[in-house]
Amino acid sequence: MEEDIKEVLLDEEQIYEVVKKIGTQISKDYEGKNLLLISVLKGSVVFMADLMRAITIPCKIDFMVVSSYGDKAVSSGTVKIIKDLDINLSGYDLLIVEDILDTGRTLKSLMEILKTRNPNSVKICTFLDKPDRRAVSLSADYMGTQIPDEFVVGYGLDYDEKYRNLPYLGILKREVYSK
């Protein structure tokens, strides 16, 4: 796997600092609220695990599987819910936890769906923001770091279900995903 990485963008220590900062802010902003973290699987699972440990107030978690990529390197723009939430959202302050915000299509559709389920609020927390790829008007309420328009893997992010287990965030060599 290492030979497929062009460059490391964030190492383990940098990732830890980013997550700690976000967790501290969420803890302040949601004090006294009924926080429900919603992990959008599979990419956000590593970030979600670290983030919930960085949050110092009570919170619940649930999981969704939403796809717009399949086995491709580029979003199709068609959002498909593969696994829905198990919790009734009424009365919760929702925080959608995502690995990366790029085109915004998936998150925008997901927010619209979740808002119809009577939560107190719906906000977005993303580990990575790739604003150069934005196709819809959408921004994260909590954002770890902006990245360039490169194909990144590691720390939960994948290409064709591989590289998620890398402990850092790296740029995948173009020849790997353009075969």
**CB proximity list for 144: less than 8 A, separation 6 or greater:** 18, 19, 21, 22, 47, 126, 127, 128, 129
pLDDT, one tens digit per residue, over 57-96 is 999 999 999 876 555 555 555 677 899 999 999 999 999 9
pLDDT of 41 higher than 70? yes
CA dist., res. 44 & res. 93, Å (int): 19
CA dist., res. 130 & res. 92, Å (int): 28
Tell me which of 50, 93, 102, 129 is the catalytic residue: 102
149 is a catalytic site residue: no
Q: Would you state the pLDDT for residue 179?
A: 72
CB 56 within 8 A of CB 22: no
Enumerate domains of the chain plus CATH numbers: 13-147 (3.40.50.2020)
pLDDT, one tens digit per residue, over 86-129 is 999 999 999 999 999 988 988 998 999 899 999 999 999 999 99
What separation in angstroms does the CA of 43 have from each of 24, 89, 148, 150? Answer: 22, 22, 18, 16
